[in-house]
Structure 1
């Protein structure tokens, strides 16, 4: 992409804001839209230096999102916290949560190597890596706790898929009618799942695969480890088949993670997260298809969600 095309791809005030946070002599020479997200526009910006070298930054923008100020403020705080840890996350460059300097609320950060991997191939290798990374995130103890987790799905907001096991879903909805069980809180990512993890994959040596980064820190929260685990488990069940949900939970415990002791408590968090997906099957499917999982139709994902919810209630 030429300099002119890069400028045209960025809104004028956003381009000016980014430029103010570059090193002396640097300029934007390329812009590429990154797909796979649902709520934010994400662009990789190519930055050229005076000596001819280049580097990449990432611009994350929220357009028409009511929670943008809160999410960007929390993400900036999380990236600042993570800079002093072993959790691989982008470095914060600048944040404009109220759109004081650009057309829309935005955050500028460093670009990490690696890529999201949602294919079935290699999932056996990636699941233990995901589990160990989540255990490390939950071990963080920030000086100031982030806000308490939010769980917005209610019994009335659940959308039962067409052709689903109506009895199992009715029982699942009854589960979340109950008060949340007591828990020991920890630091949560709140959207930890394969789409927010970057892998360095070595095709010739699958065992050398490693996690290069964890992204999308818009909603760090304080709450039960079970909730983060349940969220990743549901994503894996929908991406790769229902059996991968419990396999991730097992991998998390094998990695040293601690979950609720009681089976009913564990089921509460697993069911609560699984039911939340019923409201956004189309959006999730669209994002996955954009990054290559064209085999995942909305119908396929809905059927996997039904099978997963049914299995949770039968366990």
Structure 2
């Protein structure tokens, strides 16, 4: 890594960063000859099956976003084949701010999240620079229905994703946009004067329907703060100028597909939230909220 630092610089401190699921994160404090320091972030994919694909998606995404008005990290170096690092890794600039996951203040944060996602979807890469198409691994046969769930609602939801995916107009997607991947400046003593300082984790960057990104944030908000917030985010996105599928059935398809995808990874999703202080969000509580959210979606569909 030293060859990617300025002359006379060296790493003087490392600190593990918490909250990631797919990769290990470390903040590296780099000291210079003049006594000053700067921070970088090393993102390492340890024993991850699709590390090469994810690193390539992230590398291309952050390069594309440079100067695009989206506060993404800057690329410093990438080691896709673990030639210089023990595992495939990405070295990026460090962004100020922190994730905010608590219930207090969510009403003020949702419009900010919506406006930022609209800005991401407004990025228009040339065809040759577009990221690969989106991937959805969940099928009707892999959905994990929570214990005690509303069986009728879940059966109806599974039937929704048995249908072919709706037609869509392609957009540049983050693909994992949610509060855990958004950094905020929370000024004191006025915590309501929020500002987004960064959007991180671009390993899933894809080309696909805006509805899919919106659905991912809806699901996460529903699990973090209750089903009503999942429903409200889609409205906030449209109010911020975003465009979703015209047909209600098409919107439902993407919303349900993302919600059912989470059914397979409840433990992985809830663990970093508890590590960030939301200790009440046990896997069981998250399952119950997911069940309530799926039931809400299906009730609204008639």
Q: TM-score, normalised by structure 1?
A: 0.93
Secondary structure in 2 aligned to 1:312?
helix
The residue number in structure 1 matching 2:223 is: 238
The residue number in structure 1 matching 2:40 is: 57
In the TM superposition, what is the alpha-carbon distance from 1:186 to its structure 2 partner?
0.6
2:155 corresponds, among 170, 174, 177, to: 170
CA distance in 1, matches of 2:221, 2:160: 22
In the TM superposition, what is the alpha-carbon distance from 1:74 to its structure 2 partner?
1.3
CA distance in 2, matches of 1:51, 1:185: 48
The residue number in structure 2 matching 1:142 is: 125
Q: TM-score, normalised by structure 2?
A: 0.97
Number of equivalent positions: 298
In the TM superposition, what is the alpha-carbon distance from 1:102 to its structure 2 partner?
1.5
In the TM superposition, what is the alpha-carbon distance from 1:20 to its structure 2 partner?
1.7
Secondary structure in 2 aligned to 1:222?
strand
Range moving further from structure 2, 69-78 or 249-258: 69-78
CA contact (8 A) 2:131 2:206 kept: yes
CA distance in 2, matches of 1:87, 1:39: 22
The residue number in structure 2 matching 1:37 is: 20
Secondary structure in 1 aligned to 2:11?
strand
CA distance in 2, matches of 1:133, 1:286: 26
Structure 2 unmatched ranges of 5 or more: none
Q: Say whether 1:71 aligns with 2:50.
A: no
| RMSD (Å) for aligned C-alpha atoms | 0.8
The residue number in structure 2 matching 1:314 is: 299
Deviating above 4 A after TM superposition, structure 1's stretches of 4 or more consecutive aligned residues are none
In the TM superposition, what is the alpha-carbon distance from 1:206 to its structure 2 partner?
3.0
2:165 corresponds, among 171, 174, 180, to: 180
Structure 1 unmatched ranges of 5 or more: 1-17
The residue number in structure 1 matching 2:137 is: 152
1:285 corresponds, among 270, 273, 281, to: 270
